[in-house]
Structure 1
Amino acid sequence: MSILPENKSHTPHNTPRNFFIWGATMSGKSYLASQFPDSIVFSTDGNEKNSGTRPTVALKNYINAKGEITTSVIDVLDKYILALRTEQNTFKTVVIDVIEDVTVLLEQAICAENGVKTLSDIPYGKGYSLFNSMLAELVMNLKALPMNVIYISREDTKTENEQPVPVPALKQKYYNVVNGNCDLVIRTQHLGHSYLRTVTDIRRKYKQSEIDDPQILKILMAIPGALVKDAPVNNKDGNN
């Protein structure tokens, strides 16, 4: 029997599933993520019991009395991603809160395993190569889940034309890896009594009629620039 797919057209699944949410402290990043359906949160804040109402897993490197890592963040992520993939569950969304902390934890784990203080101490650039491979593998493993995936990042600034410009706190080279596998990038802001959400990057133009998940549709309809209006349908007389 051939393993090739049947040679016929099919209707593509156009609902965005991978999101990058960034913003300043207390700007509503985690709150927006909490609006997504049936989430499990992988948290780096060390306060997972009080970080929200959703089930939360602590992301950290577990260290013994000798200062040795006994269970790395790599092991934790591998274990839970495998469980989400292979065990029966009702989760629909994975939230990484926050992604730049995860990159620091990955660096710490690699350095500890190789007995060095920084990635550059590992000869021939192998430290950076190993880190890049692990980050790419994490992003691809999350993307392969039949779920929504949300990466949360704090806000930082960079200087352009001698003016400060807000950007995600995740380093640009790492942001490129994560964003390259995301459908929508959303910035949150807290201005006065208002909480604003704006799209800062988008993979394609998403139409309201294409979104097959009611909860995702409700979220996107409240974010300017996330959706485009469907083209009007002509009636039989040729009028709109």
Structure 2
Amino acid sequence: MQVSHSRIETFKRCQYQFKMRYIDELKTLPADNADNALYLGTALHAGLEKDVDAAIEQYYSNYTVITDEIINEAIKLEEMIKRAKKICPDGQHEVLIEDDDFKGFIDLLVPVKGFRDADVPNVYDIYDFKYSNNVENYLKSDQLHLYKYYFEKLNPGKKIRNLYFLFVPKIKVRKKRENESLMMYRKLISDELKNAEPFIREIEYDHEKVIQFLIDVKHTVEATKYEKNYSWLCNWCEFKDYCKEGKDYMLLPKNERRKVEKVDKKVIWVYGAPFSGKTVFADKFPDPLMLNTDGNIKFVTAPYISIQDKLEKNGRMMNRTLAWDIFKDVITELEKKDNDFKTIVVDLLEDCYEYCRLYIYDQMGITHESDDSFRAWDKVTTEFLSVMRRFMNLNYENIILISHEDTSKDITKRGGDKITAIKPNLREKVANKVAGMVDIVARAVAEGDNYTLSFKKSEVIFGGGRLTINNREIPTSYEDFIALYDEVNISGESEEPKKRRSSKKKDEETVTVVETPANVEEETVEEEKPKRRTRKRRTE
């Protein structure tokens, strides 16, 4: 089997994706989004090898209709390529490295200059182009290390001196005002581009990365089973629907409108002070299963699974099972859908996060993230969010998350006044990600015998979700919640918040959007360079 850097990275990321792409050779229709990483990356290479016109022609050739969004990306490409060419040295582009075992392309092979700018015989620098902001992830990649190793192996007497990445920042700006004109939006793009400059980073050759790659090749070649690895990266996988839902990419969909205004599955996050009725509220949903972490099940009737560390004696040995492993095993069982539960509840979410931390500590042999701050925080966050994404994707009528609230932090206003912040008891970065996975975030409030669900959201009160419910309070009852949920799920939001929203000032700031992860974008022009296609286009 002939391998490449991208093939092995795909196998390490998801064995099932590797099987679909390289063994079964399943073909999918290419995505036609304007910010397609493959299209932009290929166009960048064309621009640095030739000129801006070649880059734009290459980029446009991927689309049958040139929309405003596509033109916006072309504007960014044009400006960034002009700047990148100023720092890009002269050399040989798209140098193929290939033998029976390995295949790759060096983006740029540059002869090393010596005395009076004369070329030093058979000594070169290599460059790889990246249209991305994920600098640190690429700097840890083994890609350039492999290119040096295989180039020198296949070209006896020739040496690679230095390894470089040329990073071209990717600018993304989205409208915050629905009625913002195209001219104003493009001016905002121009303003963002003023602060973006391509740059070059050097890395030192590490032969251990080559050794690890060869070990990974052995595992890949010897594999007979190809497991699915569900994670947040599934969102960028071309086989996502095929893998999860069994959809056949080779069949066109029926010519009928999809009904997207109403969904049956409800995904809810409820947080509040202890004994504010959160668990009792979740218990009222139909056919619930509680995944309980704190033992607070005294006043609920639902069946439950205890998510806690287990220590079992096996003869003279004590076997310890981490709570996070138990949680993932439960998700695996729930994915089989061979049960009659309708509601799945996690109580408490922050305990699951702590179990995830301990799981990563155990894997890394550390006692705290600060012991290995370069990797640990990222590994904990990635592990937790990828597993939670699996949980959110479970095919049940109701998915409910429960958290305690945290009021231990104050926010200082401009005038100096301090206001207590009210938010779930979860790290802010993670909480914001979880809020983006749910339909509604509600706060449970208990005042005496009065129990309510509050949907107020402000600079001091945490809220969010797909559905908009502003400044509403309802009794903490299943019936009242379902009535409110159905109301906003059909209309998008209740009438009262709509009126308030229409009276807001129109002049809002534009925000920058996070881009596609680096290890997804990495699949650009490594094995098979897309052929330039020429087709008729019309401007929309």
TM-score in terms of structure 1 length: 0.79
Q: Distance in 2 between matches of 1:189 and 1:160?
A: 21
Q: Contact 2:280/2:299 (CA < 8 Å) preserved in 1?
A: no
Q: 1:155 to 1:177 in 2, by over 3 A?
A: same
Of 101, 104, 107, the match for 2:351: 101
Q: Distance in 2 between matches of 1:37 and 1:228?
A: 25
Q: 1:165 to 1:128 in 2, by over 3 A?
A: closer
Of 22, 43, 61, the match for 2:309: 61
Of 285, 292, 299, the match for 1:36: 285
Q: Contact 2:309/2:322 (CA < 8 Å) preserved in 1?
A: yes
Counting only pairs closer than 5 Å after superposition, residues 211-226 of structure 1 correspond to structure 2 as: 218-221=480-483
Which deviates more from structure 2 when the two are superposed, residues 68-77 or residues 146-155? 68-77
SS at match of 1:100: helix
Q: Contact 1:98/1:151 (CA < 8 Å) preserved in 2?
A: yes
Q: Distance in 1 between matches of 2:299 and 2:292?
A: 8
Q: Aligned pair 1:85/2:341, yes or no? A: no
Q: Contact 1:41/1:97 (CA < 8 Å) preserved in 2?
A: yes
Of 141, 163, 166, the match for 2:422: 166
Q: Contact 1:16/1:183 (CA < 8 Å) preserved in 2?
A: no
Q: Aligned pair 1:18/2:270, yes or no? A: no
Q: Aligned pair 1:6/2:257, yes or no? A: no
Q: Distance in 1 between matches of 2:259 and 2:436?
A: 23
Aligned AA (1:167):
K
Give the match for residue 362 of structure 2.
112
Q: Distance in 2 between matches of 1:174 and 1:85?
A: 24
Give the match for residue 203 of structure 1.
466
Of 188, 199, 206, the match for 2:444: 188
Q: Distance in 1 between matches of 2:335 and 2:265?
A: 19
Q: CA deviation at 1:218?
A: 4.9
SS at match of 1:96: strand
Aligned AA (1:168):
P
Of 435, 448, 467, the match for 1:179: 435
Q: Distance in 2 between matches of 1:189 and 1:96?
A: 19
Q: 1:107 to 1:34 in 2, by over 3 A?
A: same
Higher relative contact order (CA 8 A, sep 6+): 1
Aligned AA (1:62):
K
Q: Distance in 1 between matches of 2:326 and 2:362?
A: 16
Aligned AA (1:85):
E
Give the match for residue 228 of structure 1.
494
Of 107, 115, 130, the match for 2:379: 130
Q: Distance in 2 between matches of 1:15 and 1:63?
A: 40
Q: Contact 1:61/1:109 (CA < 8 Å) preserved in 2?
A: no
Task: Report % sequence identity.
Answer: 25
Q: 1:71 to 1:16 in 2, by over 3 A?
A: same
Q: Distance in 1 between matches of 2:379 and 2:274?
A: 31
Q: Distance in 2 between matches of 1:4 and 1:38?
A: 37
Aligned AA (1:160):
I
| Count of aligned pairs between the two proteins | 219
Which deviates more from structure 2 when the two are superposed, residues 190-199 or residues 8-17? 8-17
Q: CA deviation at 1:170?
A: 1.4
String of CA shifts for 1:17-44, please: whole Å, max 9, x gaps.
1111000111111111112211111111
Give the match for residue 73 of structure 1.
323
Q: CA deviation at 1:205?
A: 4.6
Instruction: Give 1 or 2 for the bigger CA radius of gyration.
Output: 2
Where is the helix percentage greater, Structure 1 or Structure 2? 2
Q: Distance in 2 between matches of 1:36 and 1:127?
A: 37
Q: Distance in 2 between matches of 1:218 and 1:153?
A: 21
Q: Contact 1:38/1:92 (CA < 8 Å) preserved in 2?
A: yes
Give the match for residue 234 of structure 1.
none
Task: Return structure 1 stretches of 4+ with deviation > 4 angstroms.
Answer: 215-218
Q: 1:91 to 1:190 in 2, by over 3 A?
A: same
Q: Contact 1:61/1:69 (CA < 8 Å) preserved in 2?
A: no
The Cα RMSD (Å) is 3.0
Q: Distance in 1 between matches of 2:319 and 2:374?
A: 23
SS at match of 1:105: helix
Aligned AA (2:273):
A
Gaps of 5+ in 1: 207-214, 230-240
Aligned AA (1:40):
L
Q: Contact 1:69/1:112 (CA < 8 Å) preserved in 2?
A: no
